[in-house]
Amino acid sequence: MNGTTDQTRHQDRVWSVAEHLDDVLSKIDPLDPIELQLLDAQGCVLVEDITVPVALPPFDNSSMDGYAVRAADVADATESTPAVLTVIGDVAAGSGELPGIEPGQAVRIMTGAPVPPGADAVVPVEWTDGGTGQGPAASMRAHSAAPQDAGGEVRVHRPAAAGAHIRARGSDVTEGEPALRAGTVLGPSQIGLLAAIGRGTVRVHPRPRVVVLSTGSELVQPGEALGPGQIHDSNSFQLTAAARDAGAIAYRVGAVADDAETLRSTLEDQLIRADILVTSGGVSVGAYDVVKETLAALSAEEGTVEFRRLAMQPGKPQGFGLIGPDRIPLLALPGNPVSSYVSFELFVRPAIRALMGLPEVHRPTTPAKCTEAVASSPKGKRQFLRGSYDAEAGTVTPVGGAGSHLIKAMAHANALIIVPEDTTEVPAGAEVDIVLLG
């Protein structure tokens, strides 16, 4: 199905960054919703409208430690002529049994405890003598959690209006009200609300499982000694970390040698646990560019991956397609570490976020003043230089050069400076658009 003519046609055409991105996103739909435990749903997009089943708070409760009283009983209380009430018991948070309050009576009450019947106000402990009218020791006892003997007295020195220091049932949210709409991204406060209204699980688009594999016979795992001509595999680590950062569950597969059979069988093995596959290396025109050789030649049943040239630097060669029986998206990124990372940020991150159904899939961009001149940007290509952005000053300073092997410079950058296709130089002090890398 991937006939030579088709292949040639695609190779001849140069794709813009936007065209490639549109093509990727047009073939990606949010993952089917699943029911997840609350904390597993953090960062995910809700797919159901959630209604409040029971009002919050579910019952009138005290907002202070103090005494539940009848407001009428303390209406005339002053410092010199306190209202003297009989304390008939204690109500702690979680109390189920509530004593009823008659005129002249009070109940010691803790924050969050239900207001007992008959009471219509809470007097904070600071407005009282603390619970016996017998001096400071008793006042301290009133602050402790120890139950107070019924039959004691409390002197109240200030009046409290009806409803004072009572959090009324439903004052936060009432029964039947919408709590959260479908499409909401679940952050800590949304998860807190769901828990408060008693939801243990919610329906969301799950986090995609991203399988990251790097290719290259020169690659050695970090921690192992290098032989002649070998380098450490940094891409699979960088891309796996970037996938997690984008919100995915990421699986790093160790580097695969430049061997078609190994690559093919590794991909086959990995398909089972992947919602999206990301490879690095082997996509240009070298003799051992095994990713391209292998994936461009898939049978119709196996899927289709197209390899294209983009009007972009770094990151010119890119592969994208759908493979396996479930047509899992695969993005084949170039091997140079800066190229693979920039490609990830531009294409894979939005793809991951589209799979999550997130409303905003792109990194934010902002204009900034470029502190240094950019001498020669390639004509006809969108260039992404690494930059250090100073938000306070609104400036960005290029870090390192354009070389796509400059791993250290990448690690010291927090932004990508965009030099548009038709711009070949940027004078110092000129405004540029930058991608904020978070």
Contact residues for ligand AMP (CB under 6 A)?
214, 216, 218-219, 231, 233-236, 255, 280-284, 286, 334-337
Q: Could you identify the residue written with the tokens 């800066």?
A: 338
Strands 50-51, 178-180: pairing kind: antiparallel
Q: What is the chain's Cα-based Rg?
A: 33
Q: How far is the CB of 33 from ligand AMP (least distance, A)?
A: 34
Q: How far is the CB of 255 from ligand AMP (least distance, A)?
A: 6
Residue 334 lies near Mg ion (rule: CB under 5 A): no
DSSP state of 80: S
Only one of the segments 93-101, 155-163, 210-218, 226-234 lies at the binding site for Mg ion (rule: CB under 5 A); that segment is: 210-218
Judged by beta carbon distances under 5 to 8 A according to partner kind, the member of ligand AMP, Mg ion, none in contact with residue 284 is ligand AMP
Q: How far is the CB of 335 from Mg ion (least distance, A)?
A: 5
Give the number of other Cβ atoms within 10 Å of residue 81's Cβ: 10
Q: How far is the CB of 207 from ligand AMP (least distance, A)?
A: 24
Q: How far is the CB of 263 from ligand AMP (least distance, A)?
A: 12
Q: Which of residues 33, 321, 334, 335 is near Mg ion by CB under 5 A?
A: 335
**Phi, psi (deg, nearest 5) at residue 57:** -60, 155
Q: Which long-range contacts (CB under 8 A, 24 or more apart) does 421-427 make?
A: 421/16, 421/311, 421/379, 421/380, 421/381, 421/382, 422/379, 422/380, 423/377, 424/376, 424/377, 424/378, 424/379, 425/373, 425/374, 425/375, 425/376, 425/377, 426/370, 426/373, 426/374, 426/377, 427/373
Strand, coil or helix: 73: helix
Q: How far is the CB of 11 from Mg ion (least distance, A)?
A: 19
Q: Which is nearer to ligand AMP, 286 or 438 (CB)?
A: 286
Return the residue nearest ligand AMP (CB atom).
335
Residues that contact Mg ion, how many (by CB under 5 A): 4
What order of strands is seen across the sheet that includes strand 303-310? 14-15, 303-310, 317-323, 328-333, 276-280, 209-215, 249-256
Judged by beta carbon distances under 5 to 8 A according to partner kind, the member of ligand AMP, Mg ion, none in contact with residue 90 is none
Q: Which is nearer to ligand AMP, 159 or 216 (CB)?
A: 216
Q: Which is nearer to ligand AMP, 321 or 335 (CB)?
A: 335
Residue 317 lies near Mg ion (rule: CB under 5 A): no
Measured in whole angstroms, the distance separating CA 363 from the mean position of its chain's CA atoms is 13
CB of 389 closer than 8 Å to CB of 434: yes
Q: How far is the CB of 288 from ligand AMP (least distance, A)?
A: 8
Interacting positions 371-410 with Mg ion (CB under 5 A): none
Q: Which amino acid is at 57?
A: P
Give the number of other Cβ atoms within 10 Å of residue 65's Cβ: 19
Residue 281 lies near Mg ion (rule: CB under 5 A): yes
Judged by beta carbon distances under 5 to 8 A according to partner kind, the member of Mg ion, ligand AMP, none in contact with residue 336 is ligand AMP
Given the rule CB under 5 A, which residues bind Mg ion?
A: 216, 281-282, 335
